[in-house]
Chains A and B, each alone.
Chain A
């Protein structure tokens, strides 16, 4: 039997029972659409996260307390909530003397209730030096100014806040500059409001940010002497990996560590973070796609079920075709083509439906939160994968009914009532 004839015969058969074909296809449509949607949204999320990491600049190096984890997939101990006090002021002083380093900026972080008048809100705050605004690319203020080195050295109770927090605390018609707010019952004078709104590097909510001198945050709010993070800005004329090795050397020396396997800090460059995040988000996307593929299996079983019913219903037709010269292979081919046509058509519709949903998510997110920077990702690989998977599903779930059809005895088939 010519393949052209087989396709013609299959098309006739499928169009004869249009409603049944459409309902049978539905499982595959949902399965493929789910896989496409999750892969595309996963890709958009990955782009967003990677974009945020890239926004910190390729010459920034992050030092966190605690030994590096064995694999790239788990966070250092400090990020898992374990208090480690290894990063101290003497480390900042030593790093500042290194010619390959432009800036070494310590940070401490906490969460507290922020109160102005009768308004209060629980927010995260960051204590750092004046250079924080330079390394975080947040030097632009809409009102006032950022705090100075003098404010840090003197322990002045001043803060810079994000525009959304200013709006929440003061409303649209009140100038926040020089207003006094209370953070964890400690009074601070607002000296600046940041211009930028939205989400910054590592998902920092710039709109609601609170930045204060590190000296005040350590002594008055947290009661600690160590740092949570040191952000190092490498000198542009040095290779980042060289600077990373210099930081490691300096900190080991400072901490009296002779065995490099026993370091009490973790150094991560942008490339390190991108690599880890890329792996995590890829695994997460695959995991979601794997969950979605369960619906594909359910759809495939539906196809198999309907094909088996169809084989039974068309037993006499099979008998007739065999009587007039069809071989087992001809019958198998005919039913397999019907199954593949069903799943492939389902796959195409699923991809189109997936594209519509991904587009709707893109427009929805950007309408709700335009500053997030959510991108429209519809990877070609997911389209190709969708088409291949739908074709393979047709073969995988169609082969059994097709073999059953091919094996039918023509005499029994012709007698079938």
Chain B
């Protein structure tokens, strides 16, 4: 599903080049739950941005669902983001003045799904995160955990193949963080591919596989054999 070969990303700021990715290679198969870990500046966020089509690499190759990113126009990237990818951000990125319903509807506005079918999809997605009673509540009035569940519902509403989660528990208390990770784990259990960026070991271990990044390279790529106990995240 995701295949990166010698992936590089270089930024040039004021004539000083910064090499954020220095040749990353791995493959993620359909249905995997992968955590990308690493300290600040290791390149994990840059990698996620490229994998989620928000940015393009400056070297190497990236193939998503058998199509190379270099062959795709910006329009096609936007269309793929909408159809095949779901996003969960650390800071939720909800529009606080809109209701839960309207927030979850946003990806559908840019899809080919007709307005008549949207209501069912939105209600299903909100129900799947257990917030059906908050459907018409303004997002700004929700707790942090509820906001992140709305963000997950928004990520799910277009039925994407991959969920990209960038530090999804970073702004939450441990109880809410656990709930979010359990939702992501349940999505994976239903066959969805989940790609998680985190710096918390306990969060990372919800995944089947952990890719550790350091200085723009893959330091280790290991399968998790022993499950963490599902207590509150520390």
Q: Which residues of A are in contact with B by a Cβ distance under 8 Å?
A: 1-2, 4-5, 9, 12, 16, 316-317, 319-328, 330, 410-411, 414
- A149 to B82 CA separation, bound complex (whole angstroms): 97
Binds A, one of B106-114, B129-137, B192-200, B214-222: B106-114
Closest 8 CB pairs of A and B: A325-B82, A325-B110, A324-B107, A320-B93, A327-B78, A5-B109, A326-B110, A325-B81
Whether A319 and B93, one on each chain, are in contact in the complex, defined by CB atoms closer than 8 angstroms, is yes
CB distance from A178 to the nearest CB of B (A): 85
Give me 23 A-to-B residue pairs in the complex whose CB atoms sit less than 8 angstroms apart, sorted by A's number: A1-B109, A2-B109, A2-B115, A9-B109, A12-B97, A316-B93, A321-B106, A323-B54, A323-B87, A324-B87, A324-B154, A325-B79, A325-B81, A325-B82, A325-B110, A325-B158, A326-B109, A326-B110, A327-B75, A327-B110, A328-B74, A414-B89, A414-B93
Q: Is the CB of A326 within 8 A of B55?
A: no
Q: Given A16-B97, A411-B49, A414-B89, is A324 in contact with B82 using a C-beta cutoff of 8 Å?
A: yes
Q: How far is the CA of A410 from the CA of B83 in the complex (A)?
A: 17
Cβ of B95 within 8 Å of any chain A Cβ, yes or no, is yes
1/0 per residue B7-51: CB within 8 Å of A? Answer: 000000000000000000000000000000000000000000100
B223: chain A residues at CB < 8 Å are none
| Shortest Cβ distance from residue B6 to the other chain A in the assembled complex, whole angstroms | 22
Contact residues of A: prevailing secondary structure: helix
- B contact residues around A320 at 8 Å (CB): 93, 95, 106
- Any chain A CB within 8 A of the CB of B98? yes
Q: Which B residues touch A411, using CB under 8 A?
A: 49, 54-55
- Interface residue tally for chain B (C-beta within 8 Å): 26
Q: In the complex, how many angstroms separate the beta carbon of B199 from the nearest chain A beta carbon? A: 17
**Smallest CB–CB gap between A7 and chain B, Å?**
12
What chain B residues lie within 8 Å of A325 (beta carbons)?
78-79, 81-83, 107, 110-111, 158
- B98-126 vs A, CB cutoff 8 Å, 1 = contact: the mask equals 10001000110111000100000000000
- Which partner residue on chain A sits nearest B109 by CB separation? A5
With both beta carbons as reference points, the residue of chain B lying nearest to A6 in the complex is identified as B109
Answer whether A410 and B54 are a contact pair too, CB < 8 Å, given A2-B115, A323-B81: yes
Q: How far is the CA of A326 from the CA of B52 in the complex (A)?
A: 14
The closest CB in chain B to the CB of A328 belongs to B74
How many Å lie between the Cα of A322 and that of B52 in the bound state?
A: 12
Question: Which residue on A lies nearest to B46, using beta carbons?
Answer: A411
Given A320-B95, A322-B54: 18 more A-B contacts, CB < 8 Å: A1-B110, A2-B109, A5-B109, A9-B109, A12-B97, A12-B102, A320-B93, A324-B81, A324-B107, A325-B79, A325-B83, A325-B110, A325-B111, A325-B158, A327-B75, A328-B74, A411-B49, A414-B89
